[in-house]
Structure 1
């Protein structure tokens, strides 16, 4: 396996799961370890970098068309499928929760997906709503081009309080009242995303435009993605 270029900006997916969103919204978060290279000790949403296998993973249902369209904007290739699969995989790996539909895989699942497939589910992306995008600023030990996906916890197929299948990357996994989430030790971008989510917690439709916090060596810009794709 080739070593990861730590200076490169890696595509990544993050999942914001909302529970009881209409009455008493709670958001799923966990704490990164004190020795983590990226955002140590911070409370974050489940998420991580896209793996090469994610682009080939079969999906029981695809992303909503509007979200797939937004994901192609300001992007050199259509990687929506890989981003959606990565979101589902990271949610499974870091929390043990399953976003999928019962079914058999058409072929043997890749190693990182073997545990998911063994539960008798295929990943399903229809509940993922693309709601935010942010690129890690220069100078950080890791840099990601992260797409944030909102899901309603009712779409999760497993027990919402059973984190026994989670890896050890996040500790203190818990459903935090949305109104209190910013009381925790959060990265700056997580605070920004939480403000966006709080404003649309009860809106169940995909957003017409998506905030994009773009950081590069020259400047930081806060843009909105509105579906104007170079792939058109």
Structure 2
């Protein structure tokens, strides 16, 4: 390609990135409350990743349409479902709410080897959830609380509309003996007190979400349904924090 064509293509790519619609994604912040201090699960993204390589994050990833049709032991609370529906724009549905929560559970297995759910005789019957079927576990959405949302600002080559859920470690029914997930996307998985997690090499939004989780747990230590949700997004040219 001639240099002149490259020069012309750069503005076109920038404009295309600006118009890029964010993809639904979900992340799960697991909290261990068995010790004197609350600890959260973090893992370092593999350096091969294009998006935030080497950064410490929570398990999470893109939501797939099939996730919304997966059987569950327990469903989202009405409060959590209603909060998810509020920000869905023109495509709100209970199935999309389920897909977001279930993708957070699926990604937590794939990246951290942890099965958030309950023992049950029913089978899911989907290849992405085969490991759950093998252990007789159904995902449990009722153990999760939706507490935060963040949308990647325009301009990047990848944009995500990420919903953040929180659950206690005791909701994990089983784990892989390898100490990591089959995708190998997260390395150096560790359970850390909040103040130590904030010292890691973490994205700015991850730092904000950790601090939001601290606020939620401070006001609602049992994670009872009904708390507010915080949202981070670009508005009028600046990144803003909103509560609803």
| Alignment coverage as a number of residue pairs | 220
Match of 1:134 in 2: 150
Query: Larger relative contact order (C-alpha < 8 A, sep ≥ 6)?
Result: 1
Match of 1:98 in 2: 115
Match of 2:233 in 1: 214
Q: Does structure 1 retain, via aligned residues, the 8 Å contact 2:108–2:115?
A: yes
Map Cα deviations across residues 44-70 of structure 1 (whole Å, 9 max, x no partner): 000001012101101110012211110
Map Cα deviations across residues 129-167 of structure 1 (whole Å, 9 max, x no partner): 001000011222321100000101111112598625442
Q: Does structure 2 retain, via aligned residues, the 8 Å contact 1:131–1:207?
A: no
- 1:210 CA drift (Å): 0.6
Structure 1 residues 216 and 114 mapped into 2: Cα distance closer, same or farther (>3 Å)? Answer: farther
> RMSD of the TM alignment (CA)?
2.2
Instruction: Give structure 1 stretches of 5+ with no counterpart.
Output: 226-232
The structure in which a higher percent of residues are helix is: 2
Q: Does structure 2 retain, via aligned residues, the 8 Å contact 1:130–1:206?
A: no
1:27 aligned to 2:40? yes
TM-score by length of 1: 0.87
Structure 1 residues 92 and 159 mapped into 2: Cα distance closer, same or farther (>3 Å)? Answer: closer
Q: Does structure 2 retain, via aligned residues, the 8 Å contact 1:133–1:212?
A: yes
Match of 1:53 in 2: 66
Matches within 5 A, 1:45-194: 45-75=58-88, 76=90, 77-78=92-93, 79-106=96-123, 109-159=125-175, 163-194=179-210
**Secondary structure of the equivalent of 1:174?**
strand
Q: Which has the larger radius of gyration?
A: 2
Map Cα deviations across residues 160-209 of structure 1 (whole Å, 9 max, x no partner): 98625442000001111212111100000000011111223352223521
Structure 1 residues 214 and 153 mapped into 2: Cα distance closer, same or farther (>3 Å)? Answer: same
Q: Does structure 2 retain, via aligned residues, the 8 Å contact 1:21–1:152?
A: no
